[in-house]
Structure 1
Amino acid sequence: MEWKALLAVVAAGTLVAGCAATAAETETASASAGSASKSAAKIAFPSTYKPYPSDNIVITGATIFDGEGQRIDNGVIFMSAGKIVSVGGPESAIPTDSTIIDATGKYVTPGIIDIHSHLGDYPTPSVAAHSDGNEATSPVTPEVWAEHSVWPQDPGFSRALANGGITSLQILPGSANLFGGRAVTLKNVPARTVQAMKFPGAPYGMKMACGENPKRVYGGRNRKPSTRMGSLSLTRQTWIKAQDYRKKQRGAKPPKRDLAMETLAGVLDGDILVHNHCYRADELNQIIDMSKEFGYKVTAFHHAVESYKIADILAKEGICSAIWADWWGFKMEAYDAIPENAALLQQAGACVVIHSDDENQIQRLNQEASKALADGRAMGIEISDAQAIQWITYNAAKAMGIADQTGSLKPGKMADVVLWNDNPLSVYSRPEKVWIDGAMLYDANDPSRRPVSDFELGQPGEGDVK
Structure 2
Amino acid sequence: MRTRTLIATACALALGACTGMDSGTGGETRSASAASPSVGADGGTPYASTYQRYPGRPTALVGATVFDGAGNRFDNATVLLRDGEVVEVGTGLSTDGYDVIDGTGKFVTPGVIDIHSHLGDYPTPSVQAHSDGNEATSPTTPEVWAEHSVWPQDPGFSRALANGGVTALQILPGSANLTGGRSVTLKNVASRTVQGMKFPGAPYGMKMACGENPKRVYGSRGRMPSTRMGNFAVNRQMWLDARAYAAGDRSKRDLAKETLAGVLDGDILIHNHCYRADEMALVMDMAKEMGYKVTAFHHAVESYKIADLLRENDVCSAIWADWYGFKMESYDGIRENAALLWKSGACVVIHSDDENGIQRLNQEAAKAQAAGRRMGLDIPDADVVGWFTLNAAKAMGIDKMTGSLEPGKMADVVLWNGDPLSVYSRPEKVWIDGALLYDALDRSRRPVSDFELGQPGAGDVK
Q: How does the TM-score come out when normalised to structure 2?
A: 0.94
**What is the DSSP-based 3-state SS (H/G/I as helix, E as strand, rest coil) of the residue aligned with 2:42?**
helix
1:11 partner amino acid: A
Structure 2 counterpart of 1:46: 48
Q: Distance in 1 between matches of 2:31 and 2:118?
A: 28
Please say if residues 18 and 446 of structure 2, whose CA atoms lie closer than 8 Å, have aligned partners that are also in contact.
no
Please say if residues 318 and 350 of structure 1, whose CA atoms lie closer than 8 Å, have aligned partners that are also in contact.
yes
1:77 partner amino acid: V
Deviations 1:285-333 (A, max 9, x none): 0000000001100000000000000001101110000000000111000
How far is the alpha carbon of 1:463 from its aligned partner? 1.7
Please say if residues 63 and 107 of structure 1, whose CA atoms lie closer than 8 Å, have aligned partners that are also in contact.
yes
**What is the DSSP-based 3-state SS (H/G/I as helix, E as strand, rest coil) of the residue aligned with 1:461?**
coil
Structure 1 counterpart of 2:222: 222
Q: Distance in 2 between matches of 1:123 and 1:5?
A: 21
For the aligned residue pairs, the C-alpha RMSD in angstroms reads 1.3
Residue 432 (structure 2) pairs with residue 436 (structure 1):
yes
Structure 2 counterpart of 1:88: 90
Q: Distance in 2 between matches of 1:193 and 1:76?
A: 36
How far is the alpha carbon of 1:452 from its aligned partner? 0.6
Deviations 1:397-438 (A, max 9, x none): 000000000000000000000000000000000000000000
Please say if residues 79 and 415 of structure 1, whose CA atoms lie closer than 8 Å, have aligned partners that are also in contact.
yes
Distance 1:152 1:217, change over 3 A: same
2:292 partner amino acid: Y
Q: Distance in 2 between matches of 1:180 and 1:120?
A: 16
Q: Distance in 1 between matches of 2:221 and 2:50?
A: 42
Please say if residues 263 and 269 of structure 2, whose CA atoms lie closer than 8 Å, have aligned partners that are also in contact.
yes
Structure 1 counterpart of 2:33: 12
Structure 2 counterpart of 1:457: 453
Q: Distance in 1 between matches of 2:310 and 2:40?
A: 38
Deviations 1:261-282 (A, max 9, x none): 0000000000000000000000
Please say if residues 245 and 255 of structure 1, whose CA atoms lie closer than 8 Å, have aligned partners that are also in contact.
no
How far is the alpha carbon of 1:13 from its aligned partner? 3.9
How far is the alpha carbon of 1:23 from its aligned partner? 7.4
Distance 1:23 1:106, change over 3 A: closer
Residue 355 (structure 2) pairs with residue 359 (structure 1):
yes
Q: Distance in 1 between matches of 2:423 and 2:238?
A: 46
How far is the alpha carbon of 1:10 from its aligned partner? 2.2
How far is the alpha carbon of 1:255 from its aligned partner? 4.7
**What is the DSSP-based 3-state SS (H/G/I as helix, E as strand, rest coil) of the residue aligned with 1:9?**
coil
Please say if residues 248 and 255 of structure 1, whose CA atoms lie closer than 8 Å, have aligned partners that are also in contact.
no
Distance 1:348 1:6, change over 3 A: closer
How far is the alpha carbon of 1:97 from its aligned partner? 1.4
How far is the alpha carbon of 1:454 from its aligned partner? 0.6
Residue 281 (structure 2) pairs with residue 264 (structure 1):
no
Alignment of 1:105-184 (within 5 A): 105-184=105-184
Which structure 2 segments of 5+ residues have no match?
Answer: 1-10, 21-28
Distance 1:270 1:23, change over 3 A: closer
2:66 partner amino acid: I
Residue-pair matches, total: 441
Q: How does the TM-score come out when normalised to structure 1?
A: 0.93
Distance 1:23 1:443, change over 3 A: closer
Determine which of 433, 443, 450 is the counterpart of 1:447. 443
Structure 2 counterpart of 1:25: 42
Residue 411 (structure 2) pairs with residue 415 (structure 1):
yes
Please say if residues 22 and 48 of structure 1, whose CA atoms lie closer than 8 Å, have aligned partners that are also in contact.
no
Please say if residues 18 and 448 of structure 2, whose CA atoms lie closer than 8 Å, have aligned partners that are also in contact.
no
1:70 partner amino acid: N
Alignment of 1:297-446 (within 5 A): 297-446=293-442
Q: Distance in 1 between matches of 2:40 and 2:357?
A: 37
Determine which of 78, 81, 88 is the counterpart of 2:80. 78
Please say if residues 10 and 53 of structure 1, whose CA atoms lie closer than 8 Å, have aligned partners that are also in contact.
no
Q: Distance in 1 between matches of 2:392 and 2:18?
A: 31
Structure 2 counterpart of 1:39: none
Deviations 1:18-63 (A, max 9, x none): 9xx977533xx4xxxxxxxxxxxxx100000000001000011000
Deviations 1:317-376 (A, max 9, x none): 100000000001110000000000000000000000000000000000000000000000
Please say if residues 18 and 447 of structure 2, whose CA atoms lie closer than 8 Å, have aligned partners that are also in contact.
no
Structure 1 counterpart of 2:63: 61
Q: Distance in 2 between matches of 1:312 and 1:5?
A: 46
1:75 partner amino acid: A
How far is the alpha carbon of 1:12 from its aligned partner? 3.4
Q: Distance in 2 between matches of 1:47 and 1:429?
A: 34
Q: Distance in 2 between matches of 1:192 and 1:25?
A: 18
Q: Distance in 2 between matches of 1:270 and 1:157?
A: 30
Q: Distance in 2 between matches of 1:241 and 1:404?
A: 33
2:189 partner amino acid: V
Q: Distance in 2 between matches of 1:13 and 1:102?
A: 28
Which structure 1 segments of 5+ residues have no match?
Answer: 30-42
Q: Distance in 1 between matches of 2:162 and 2:370?
A: 25
